[in-house]
Structure 1
Amino acid sequence: MACFYPEFSQKFAALLPELRAHGRVAIVGHMRPDGDCIGAQVGLARVLSAAGVREVTCLNADHVPRRLSFLTAQTRVLHAPEFLGNPDSDFRAGDYAAIFVDCADAARCGVELQTAFPKPFAMVDHHLSNPGFATHDFLDANSAATSEILAGIFLDLGLPIDEQTAQALYTGIVTDTGQFRFPSTTPRCFAIAGELIARGAQPAEIGYELYERESLGRLRLLEAFLKTLRLECSGRFCFGFLPKGIFEATGSTVEDTEGLVDYARSIEGVEIAALVEERVEAEWRGGGVKMKASLRAKNPIYRVDKIAAKFGGGGHACAAGLTAEADREAFCAELLAAVAEQLARVEASGGATNSEETIL
């Protein structure tokens, strides 16, 4: 058996007895969870349970998206706002060792979960912008997905991977590699994916659940988004907008925004794309109207994580996100200026990168 993550595997093996002794583990994911987040949570939860950890609880600030619910049929992923502090619940955050997965920073999990778990026991992630924030960090920006890291560790250690675990981890890899199309896809991705298929992952079923269960509301949302697309920077930047109230108007939900930005990126000549969303935040997140942007690039030399960082966000070289409190027009103007500056910088450098700009 190939050794995919030798350093991480030894470290994880050393932590397992401590997790068993603690008895209770909370696996925390990020807001608006995607396939890698849910896949990593479910995969880690099932492996820890099989390895003898008495109680494992998965928590997210948002509900599991409809298209990912097939992963949670046998593993509960709880909606944190309905659970934390509930007088009818015996859950006490201080009783749990918290492991954050797929969170580029501690704040990515949301205010309530960050407050409940201010000192995470461990963190597993692959975001380029992650500064490291847990007692034990498993951070590799050269991995395509958090699920890839976890699957590699489990395979290295010979830990039990049943069909449901394999299904979850494969889903995380296939979504974060864009069905093995993104620049982050490596021979290791395929090798690990093959091992997961050998252990019961079903690519056909996963493909159906992820890409062939569109709702009419999502298609209406896509139509509305496409009507707003604008080309800037001589056609190298394309962005579209979703105003507040659009979900009610189209019969869609927040989770239906997943993947919309890729339509803007797919336009010939476009190097960077953005979906800008005017979103009314829930009261438990502080309320108010926020501007959110999802950034995508065709080539990692454009480092959209650096664009996002100017607004307090982060992510990957080819995929990043941010949230800001700003007027719509002012925000769009600032974002356009930041993108134009990045395009000019890359053009001036001839597309070269250096050691400081390790890319995915």
Structure 2
Amino acid sequence: MMIQAILKKIEEGRRFLVASHESPDGDALASTLALTNALREMGKEVVAYNADGVPASFDYLPGSETIVHSLEGMPPFDTGFVLDAGELRRAGSHLKDCCSTLVNIDHHPHSEHFGEIHFVDIGASATGALVYRILKEGGYPISPAVALCIYTAILSDTGSFRYSNADPEAFHIAAEMVALGVDPWTVASGLYESQPEVRLRLLALTLATLTVSACGHYASVTTTLGMMAETGAGPEHTDGFVNYPRSVRGVEVAVFFRQTAPSTCKVGMRSKGRVDVGALARNLGGGGHHNAAGGMVEGTLDEVRTRVFCLLDELLLA
């Protein structure tokens, strides 16, 4: 029913906005560009928007050079699609003021019920899978450009098919995209084999902060403002850092602390399944999935770390 409502908006509309959350990951950017490219191929006028732009590791995605980070001075849109955001504020609360209709397409649990159309399936492996469903139900052909984006979204959000959300649909969609011409090595090399030097230098400093709890069930790494200044790296270069402490044997929860200001930290968490880090993140004012979550937390680095570690001790030692 929701898909039919979306298809009706696509059929009737002329001018569209497609947006995703700040500090975009692979699913956010790739699903944005999958829908953007598909709409453009239909002859629609489309603006792709992300407040933080495109990290260099995703510049191989078709249409990535067209993503804008400001909507100032633009005329209103018939329909705005907000993808993978969880909450409207993560994409931009101002988006509702420039769109006649707002559509929320997401797979996060507890996704905020914003917009006139709310297409959320927490069982979907990625938001890219929901874009795929829309295009398939509408009978729209999937071009090589769109296929590359959908494949990237699935690959990215399933951790290269390592996570528990790598369900049969994820493999089915990936197989279909490869059959349509996607070269898996093109995506893998773009995501994992094209790192800028500054990222590795920042990673070296970050790994030196590795801490493992006394119980051995959680571990963390930290990136400070000083480290980024020293290496010349930016926040976009920290994507994936949280996976390193998760790889420690015996660790159930990994935490990545990134200082964004002297009194604010971004906290990212990953779970191997026993601990619901989504619930933990919501306790901190953030959000996310059972196995992947995070948010911005006020306080000095030491204060935030202490607060998070206390919550983890309560969960893991209870």
TM-score using structure 2 length:
0.94
3-state SS of paired residue (2:268): strand
> 1:192 Cα shift?
1.1
Aligned-pair distance for 1:49?
Answer: 2.6
**Matching of residue 332 in structure 1 with residue 314 in structure 2:** no
Cα distance, 1:331 vs structure 2: 1.2
Report the equivalent of 2:278: 305
What secondary structure sits across from 1:37 in the alignment? Answer: helix
- CA shift, 1:73, in A, is 4.2
Q: Which amino acid aligns with 1:19?
A: I
Kindly indicate whether the alpha-carbon contact (under 8 Å) linking 2:219 and 2:253 is maintained by their aligned counterparts in 1. yes
Paired amino acid for 1:245: G
Aligned to 2:82: 100
Structure 1 unaligned blocks of 5 or more: 1-9, 281-287, 346-360
1:203 aligns with 2:179: no
Q: What secondary structure is seen at the aligned counterpart in 2 of 1:47?
A: helix
One-letter identity of the residue aligned with 2:91: C
Q: What pairs with 1:98-247 in structure 2 (closer than 5 Å)?
A: 98-110=80-92, 113-114=94-95, 116-117=97-98, 121-247=102-228
Task: Give the length in aligned residue pairs.
Answer: 318
Contact kept in structure 2, 1:177 and 1:184, CA below 8 Å: yes
Which of 2, 23, 26 is matched with 1:11 structurally?
2
How far, CA to CA, are the matches of 2:104 and 2:173 in structure 1?
21
Q: Which amino acid aligns with 1:273?
A: A
Question: Counterpart of 1:58?
Answer: 48
1:32 aligns with 2:6: no
SS at match of 1:213: coil
Displacement after TM superposition at 1:312 (Å): 0.9
Aligned with residue 257 of structure 1, among 238, 243, 247: 238
Q: How far 1:153 moved relative to its partner?
A: 2.8
Task: State the shift of 1:215 in Å.
Answer: 1.7
The 1:237/1:117 distance shift into structure 2, 3 A limit, reads farther
Distance in structure 1 (CA, Å) of the matches to 2:129 and 2:81: 16
Distance 2:151 2:243 in 1: 21
The equivalent of 1:350 in structure 2 is none
Asked whether the equivalents of residues 77 and 98 of structure 2 are also in contact (C-alpha less than 8 Å), the reply is no
Q: Distance in 2 between matches of 1:131 and 1:163?
A: 32
C-alpha displacement at 1:344, in angstroms? 3.6
Shift in Å at residue 120 of structure 1?
5.6
Provide the rounded CA distance (Å) in 2 between the counterparts of 1:208 and 1:61.
Answer: 26
**Amino acid across the alignment from 1:64:** V
Contact 1:42 1:75 in 2 (8 A): no
Contact 1:60 1:79 in 2 (8 A): yes
> What is the rounded CA distance, in whole Å, between the counterparts of 2:63 and 2:47 in structure 1?
14
User: 1:285 matched to which residue of 2?
Assistant: none
- Find 1:22's aligned residue among 4, 13, 18: 13
Q: Quick one: distance in 2 between partners of 1:322 and 1:205?
A: 31
Q: Which moved more, 1:332-341 or 1:115-124?
A: 115-124
Root mean square deviation of aligned Cα: 2.0
Identical amino acids, percent of aligned pairs: 30
Contact 2:77/2:100 (<8 A) preserved: no
2:146 is aligned with what amino acid? T
The match for 2:66 is 76
Find out whether 1:268 has 2:241 as its counterpart.
no
1:297 aligned partner, one-letter code: S
Residue 5 of structure 1 corresponds to none
**Which residue pairs with 2:266 in the alignment?**
292
Q: Distance in 2 between matches of 1:133 and 1:278?
A: 30
The 3 A distance-change label for structure 1 pair 119 and 309 is farther
> For each residue in 1:8-43, what CA deviation from the matched residue of structure 2 results, as whole angstroms up to 9, or x when unmatched?
xx5323433433433111111110111111111111
**CA–CA distance in 2 between the matches of 1:74 and 1:64?**
7
- The AA in structure 1 aligned to 2:56 is R
Q: Structure 1 118/319 Cα, relative in aligned 2: closer, same or farther at 3 Å? A: farther
